């Protein structure tokens, strides 16, 4: 295969409560169809994140117990993760990973848990309530509709420079108020979709892979990869 991509699976041994490892499997599936050899490795506790080593990053979700552990360790990776993001490094972040990229989130017990502020959003907590159920959103940039399942206590509010992954057609989204779901900042894509998100939304997987390829191989002819047809699975 003429192209190679290396994925950093951030805290993949801790942040995988909702089967988010499936996103890695789906990326690998579409990578093969795009003639790309994709490899991944877990970057976890007390391990450095090396921005130049990775072409793509994935950060899954977890429960509060794991998130507290990760929130402390990830402060040591803050500078390198922020540099990677600001340099246009592609990343997919789901639920807890999404929250920890922001300023902070409030846990179910009211504890304020520190993020790395690589993205400007913040997350509050609901009292004895969760957003659970099927959700449908539409991305205004691509006109694509994404289908998924949400299950989160958090109420996330986007900040300057962020835009939603999509506008809510049905479901709750980030906070149940402003009809936004997820976030896009530079080449970082965030969402509360579990399931995992890429299994039902292959166009998003294709977008992530193309973004990584164009960044790593800026002069390559990727016409064949651009033409890959992704059939909806919902």
Nearest 5°: CA angle at 124, between 72 and 92? 60
Q: What is the pLDDT of residue 109?
A: 80
Tokens of 71: 């929130």
Q: What is the pLDDT of residues 111-170, one digit of tens each?
A: 899 999 999 999 999 988 999 999 999 999 999 999 999 999 999 999 999 999 999 999
Q: Is 68 helix (H, G, I), strand (E, B) or coil?
A: helix
Please give the annotated binding residues for substrate, written as ranges: 130
Q: Are 72 and 106 in contact (CB under 8 A)?
A: no
Active site residue 95: yes
| Listed residue (17, 15, 20) closest to 196, CA to CA | 20
- Going by pLDDT thresholds of 50, 70 and 90, the confidence category of residue 45 is very high
The whole-angstrom separation of Cα 57 and Cα 191 is 14
Q: Is the pLDDT of residue 234 over 80?
A: no
Pull the structure tokens for residue 34: 């795009």
Does pTM top 0.85 for this prediction?
yes
pLDDT band at 17 (very low <50, low <70, confident <90, very high): confident
State pLDDT tens for residues 88-110. Answer: 999 999 999 999 999 999 987 88
Q: Where are the domains of the chain?
A: 3-227
Query: For residue range 51-94, what is the model confidence (pLDDT) as tens digits?
Result: 999 999 999 998 888 999 999 999 999 999 999 999 999 999 99
Residue range 3-227, CATH number: 3.40.50.880
Name 128's Cβ contacts closer than 8 Å, sequence gap at least 6. Answer: none
CA dist list (Å): 203 to 27, 41, 88, 121, 144:
11, 23, 20, 25, 8
Q: Which of 147, 152, 172, 194 is catalytic?
A: 194
For residue 233, pLDDT beyond 80: no
Query: How many whole angstroms separate alpha carbon 39 and alpha carbon 159?
Result: 33
DSSP tag of 8:
E
State the binding site.
Answer: 130
CA 231 to chain centre: 21
Is residue 3 pLDDT above 90, yes or no?
Answer: yes
The closest of 75, 48, 85 to 162, measured between CA atoms, is: 85
Predicted local confidence at residue 18, as pLDDT? 78
Predicted local distance difference test score (pLDDT) of residue 108:
75
Contact 110, 89 (CB under 8 A): no
Comparing CA positions, the residue from 82, 83, 88 lying closest to residue 101 is 82
Return the pLDDT at 145: 96
For residues 166-182, give the mean pLDDT. Answer: 97
194 is known as an active-site residue? yes
List the Cα angle 141/142/147 in 5-degree steps: 110
Catalytic residue among 95, 121, 152, 190: 95
């Amino acid at each position: 295969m003429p192209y190679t991509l290396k994925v950093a699976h951030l805290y993949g041994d801790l942040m995988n409560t909702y089967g988010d490892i499936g996103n890695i499997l789906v990326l690998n599936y579409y990578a093969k169809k795009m003639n790309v050899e994709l490899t991944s490795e877990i970057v976890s506790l007390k391990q450095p994140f090396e921005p130049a080593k990775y072409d793509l990053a994935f950060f899954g979700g977890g429960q509060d117990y794991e998130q507290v552990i990760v929130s402390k360790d990830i402060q040591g990776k803050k500078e390198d993760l922020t540099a990677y993001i600001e340099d246009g490094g592609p990343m997919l972040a789901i639920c807890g990973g999404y929250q920890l990229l922001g300023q902070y989130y409030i846990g179910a017990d009211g504890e304020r848990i520190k993020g790395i502020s690589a993205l400007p959003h913040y997350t509050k907590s609901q009292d004895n309530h969760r957003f659970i159920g099927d959700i449908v959103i539409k991305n205004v940039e691509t006109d694509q509709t994404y289908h998924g399942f949400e299950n989160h206590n958090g109420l996330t509010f986007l900040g300057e420079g962020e835009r939603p992954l999509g506008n809510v057609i049905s479901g709750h989204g980030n906070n149940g108020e402003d009809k936004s779901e997820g976030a896009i900042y530079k080449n970082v894509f965030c969402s509360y979709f579990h399931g995992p998100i890429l299994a039902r939304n292959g166009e998003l997987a294709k977008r992530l892979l193309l973004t990584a390829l164009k960044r790593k191989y800026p002069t390559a002819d990727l016409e064949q990869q651009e033409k890959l047809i992704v059939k909806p699975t919902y």
